[in-house]
C-alpha cells in the first residue's frame, strides 16, 4: 500500500498542515512531515474533508443495470468525494430479503470504491401491505439498520407503527418517503401557480407535511427512530422543528436539487426536472436552507436517481422522476452554503455517518483515524458535461452549468479511489 503525503492542506478549513496517510490510517499531521517512501500530493489551496457519506443513493442493481450498477454508482460516488453510500431498496427484485441485501453489499465490496451499505425495504415488494424480513436483513452479512420503501410511502399507519416497533429492538431506523398517496394521485409537479398555468396535476405540499406530522407522532409514541427522506417544503421544516423541540427521535435530509431549483424549471417541459418530491418554490428553498444551517434538517443526501434515456427523454407525463446527484452534490453545497467547511463536513459526512452508524466514516482526518477522506479544490470551477459523468445515466439537471469546487482526490481506508480528479479504477 503506497503511503501518501499531502502537503500544505487545510483540514476542514483550518490552517494548512501536512497529512501522512499510511497503512489505511492518517498516520500523522503537522508542519514539515517527511516520508521518503510516500507519494506526495501538493495540497496547497485544497481542503481535506472526512469522506462524504450519502444516506440516499439509488444504485439500480439488481434489475436496471442499464441505468446504473453498484460499480458505476460507486465510481460516481468516489468522484463526488464520497467514501460511503446507503443503497436504496427499490431495485428489481426489491431489497426485501437477506439474500438481496447481501448481494448488494457483496457487489459493493467487490467494486471497492466506496462502502456500500444496503437499505432494506420496509414492506414486501414495496407494496405497503406486509412487513418485509426486517430481522433477517438486520442479522445478515449486510447488517441492515435503515429500512425504507423510498419511491413509495409507507402510507398505512398501522404498518408504519409496526415497522417502528420492530426496528426499536436493534435501534434501527425507518426512513420515510413522505407522500400521502391519495393527495398525489396523478401528480406531475408541485401544486402551485406554475402547475395551474401549465395544466399539470399538482403534488401539494400538504401531502408531504401530513405524513411527516403523523410519523413524528408515531415515532414519539413508539420511542423509535424516524428519518425523513428528501424534505421539500417550508411546512415540513416547521413540523420537524416542533418535533425536535419535543425530543422526538427524528432526523431529516434535504437534497441538493431541492436547495437550488424551483418548479419554474417545469416550464421547459424537460423531464430532467421531474423528480419526486417535486421541485418547489423560492419560499421553500429559503426555509430548507435555513433549516440546514440551523440543524432542523440534519443532512444533505443526494437521492441520486439514475434513469435510462428512454425513461427520461420522453413526454413529461411518462418520464420517471429522479435526477443524478453524486457527482455534483459537493459543488451544489458549496454554491448554496459557501465555504462553510465545518458545516459541510457535518451535514455531508459526520451526521450521515452517525445516523447510519457507519464506523470509520464521518471522522475528521487526525492521527489514528481511518483514512476515509476527500480533497476539494474550492477555487476550481467546472462546467457539467453529462457525457463526462461516471454514472451510466445522463439525467443531471446541471448540464452545462458552471459550478464551484472540484474533487481532486478521494481515499478509502488509505487507498486512493480518485487522484487528479480521475477515478483510479
Ligand atoms: O425522484 C425520485 N426518484 N424519487 C423517489 O422517491 C424515487 C427515485 C427513484 O428511484 O427514481
Name, in order, each residue with C-beta under 8 angstroms of 364's C-beta and a sequence gap of 6 or more: 11, 12, 50, 345, 350
Q: Are 79 and 28 within one domain?
A: no
Residue 96 falls inside a structural domain: yes
**Residue 321 annotated in ligand binding:** yes
Picking from 305, 323, 356, the residue at the C-terminal end of a domain is 356
**Residue 303 annotated in ligand binding:** yes
Contact 369, 335 (CB under 8 A): no
Atom of ligand 1 nearest to the CA of 152: 6
Atom of ligand 1 nearest to the CA of 229: 6
Picking from 315, 334, 356, the residue at the C-terminal end of a domain is 356
Q: pLDDT exceeding 90 applies to what percent of the chain?
A: 100
Q: Are 321 and 401 within one domain?
A: no
Q: What is the pLDDT of residue 335?
A: 98
Q: What's the CA-to-centroid distance between 31 and ligand 1, angstroms?
A: 46
Residue 102 falls inside a structural domain: yes
Residue 71 falls inside a structural domain: yes
Count of domains forming the chain: 2
| Each residue's pLDDT tens digit, 176-194 | 999 999 999 999 999 999 9
| Each residue's pLDDT tens digit, 340-382 | 999 999 999 999 999 999 999 999 999 999 999 999 999 999 9
Residue 389 falls inside a structural domain: yes
| Each residue's pLDDT tens digit, 192-214 | 999 999 999 999 999 999 999 99
Q: What is the pLDDT of residue 167?
A: 98
Picking from 300, 329, 356, the residue at the C-terminal end of a domain is 356
Ligand 1 atom 6: the closest Cα is on which residue?
151
Residue 283 falls inside a structural domain: yes
Q: Are 152 and 256 within one domain?
A: yes
- HSE-CB for 99 with a 13 A CA cutoff: 4
| Each residue's pLDDT tens digit, 272-331 | 999 999 999 999 999 999 999 999 999 999 999 999 999 999 999 999 999 999 999 999
Ligand 1 atom 1: the closest Cα is on which residue?
322
Q: What's the CA-to-centroid distance between 277 and ligand 1, angstroms?
A: 8
- Residue 70's pLDDT band (boundaries 50, 70, 90)? very high
Q: Which three cell numbers stand for residue 371?
A: 483514512
Q: Which of 63, 90, 179, 271 to mutate to test the pocket of ligand 1 (most atoms within 8 A of CB)?
A: 90
Please give the model's pTM, rounded to 2 decimal places.
0.98
Q: Are 69 and 34 within one domain?
A: no
Q: Are 312 and 343 within one domain?
A: yes
Q: Are 30 and 93 within one domain?
A: no
Catalytic residue among 18, 96, 263, 303: 303
Identify whether 303 is a catalytic site residue.
yes
What is the pairing mode between strands 250-254 and 225-228? Answer: parallel
Q: Which three cell numbers stand for residue 97?
A: 430479503
Residue 361 falls inside a structural domain: no
Ramachandran assignment for 143, one of left (phi > 0), alpha (psi -120 to 50 degrees), beta (any other): left
Q: Are 85 and 172 within one domain?
A: yes
Q: What is the pLDDT of residue 134?
A: 98
Backbone angles phi, psi at 424, to 5 degrees: -80, -35
What's the mean per-residue pLDDT of the chain? 98
- Residue 74's pLDDT band (boundaries 50, 70, 90)? very high
Atom of ligand 1 nearest to the CA of 306: 11
Q: Are 188 and 316 within one domain?
A: yes
Nearest to 174 by CA among 248, 116, 67, 112: 248
Residue 271 falls inside a structural domain: yes
Q: What's the CA-to-centroid distance between 109 and ligand 1, angstroms?
A: 25
Q: What is the pLDDT of residue 396?
A: 98
Q: What is the pLDDT of residue 72?
A: 98
Q: Are 136 and 266 within one domain?
A: yes
- Residue 144's pLDDT band (boundaries 50, 70, 90)? very high
Domain ranges, residue 233? 51-356
- For the chain, give the number of residues: 425
Residue 99 falls inside a structural domain: yes
| Each residue's pLDDT tens digit, 214-252 | 999 999 999 999 999 999 999 999 999 999 999 999 999
Q: What's the CA-to-centroid distance between 199 and ligand 1, angstroms?
A: 23
Q: Are 201 and 341 within one domain?
A: yes
**Residue 370 annotated in ligand binding:** no
Whole-angstrom Cα distance, residue 202 to residue 188? 6
Q: What's the CA-to-centroid distance between 398 and ligand 1, angstroms?
A: 17
CATH number at residue 348: 3.20.20.140
Q: Are 133 and 24 within one domain?
A: no
CATH number at residue 377: 2.30.40.10
Ligand 1 atom 2: the closest Cα is on which residue?
322
Ligand 1 binding pocket, CB closer than 6 Å? 58, 90, 150-151, 177, 275-276, 305, 320-322
Atom of ligand 1 nearest to the CA of 320: 11
| Each residue's pLDDT tens digit, 15-59 | 999 999 999 999 999 999 999 999 999 999 999 999 999 999 999
**Residue 177 annotated in ligand binding:** yes
- What separation, in Å, do the N-terminal and C-terminal C-alpha atoms of the chain show? 15
**Residue 120 annotated in ligand binding:** no
Q: Are 56 and 21 within one domain?
A: no
Atom of ligand 1 nearest to the CA of 88: 10
Whole-angstrom Cα distance, residue 177 to residue 163? 14
- Residue 92's pLDDT band (boundaries 50, 70, 90)? very high
**Residue 60 annotated in ligand binding:** yes
Amino acid at each position: 500500500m503506497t503511503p501518501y503525503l499531502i502537503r500544505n492542506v487545510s483540514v476542514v478549513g483550518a490552517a494548512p498542515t501536512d497529512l501522512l496517510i499510511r497503512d489505511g490510517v492518517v498516520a500523522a499531521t503537522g508542519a514539515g512531515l517527511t516520508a521518503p517512501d510516500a507519494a506526495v500530493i501538493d495540497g496547497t489551496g485544497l481542503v481535506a474533508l472526512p469522506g462524504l457519506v450519502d444516506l440516499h443513493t439509488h444504485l439500480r442493481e439488481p434489475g436496471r443495470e442499464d441505468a446504473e450498477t453498484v460499480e458505476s454508482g460507486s465510481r460516481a460516488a468516489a468522484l463526488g468525494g464520497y467514501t460511503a453510500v446507503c443503497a436504496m431498496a427499490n431495485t428489481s427484485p426489491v431489497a426485501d430479503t437477506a439474500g438481496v441485501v447481501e448481494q448488494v453489499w457483496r457487489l459493493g465490496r467487490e467494486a471497492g470504491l466506496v462502502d456500500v451499505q444496503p437499505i432494506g425495504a420496509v414492506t414486501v415488494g414495496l407494496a405497503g401491505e406486509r412487513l418485509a424480513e426486517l430481522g433477517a436483513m438486520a442479522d445478515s452479512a449486510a447488517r441492515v439498520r435503515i429500512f425504507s420503501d423510498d419511491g413509495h410511502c409507507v402510507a398505512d399507519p398501522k404498518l408504519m407503527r409496526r415497522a417502528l416497533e420492530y426496528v426499536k429492538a436493534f435501534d434501527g431506523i425507518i426512513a420515510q418517503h413522505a407522500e400521502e398517496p391519495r393527495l398525489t394521485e396523478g401528480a406531475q409537479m408541485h401544486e402551485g401557480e406554475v402547475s395551474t398555468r401549465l395544466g399539470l396535476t399538482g403534488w401539494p405540499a400538504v401531502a408531504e407535511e401530513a405524513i411527516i406530522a403523523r410519523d413524528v407522532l408515531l415515532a414519539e409514541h413508539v420511542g423509535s427512530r424516524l428519518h425523513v427522506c428528501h424534505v421539500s417544503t417550508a411546512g415540513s421544516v416547521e413540523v420537524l422543528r416542533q418535533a425536535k423541540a419535543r425530543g422526538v427521535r427524528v432526523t431529516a435530509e434535504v437534497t441538493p436539487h431541492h436547495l437550488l431549483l424551483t418548479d419554474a424549471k417545469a416550464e421547459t417541459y424537460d423531464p430532467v426536472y421531474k423528480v419526486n418530491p417535486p421541485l418547489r418554490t423560492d419560499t421553500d428553498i429559503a426555509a430548507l436552507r435555513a433549516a440546514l444551517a440551523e440543524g432542523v434538517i440534519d443532512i444533505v443526501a443526494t437521492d441520486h436517481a439514475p434513469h435510462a434515456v428512454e425513461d427520461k427523454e420522453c413526454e413529461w407525463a411518462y418520464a420517471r422522476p429522479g435526477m443524478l446527484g453524486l457527482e455534483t452534490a459537493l459543488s451544489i453545497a458549496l454554491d448554496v452554503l459557501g465555504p462553510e467547511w465545518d458545516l459541510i463536513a457535518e451535514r455531508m459526512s459526520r451526521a450521515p455517518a452517525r445516523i447510519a452508524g457507519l464506523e470509520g466514516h464521518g471522522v475528521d482526518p487526525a492521527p489514528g483515524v481511518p483514512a476515509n477522506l476527500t480533497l476539494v479544490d474550492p477555487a476550481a470551477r467546472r462546467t457539467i458535461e453529462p457525457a463526462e459523468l461516471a454514472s451510466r445515466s445522463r439525467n443531471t439537471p446541471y448540464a452545462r452549468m458552471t459550478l464551484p469546487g472540484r474533487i481532486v482526490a478521494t481515499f478509502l481506508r488509505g487507498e486512493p479511489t480518485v487522484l487528479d480528479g480521475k477515478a483510479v479504477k
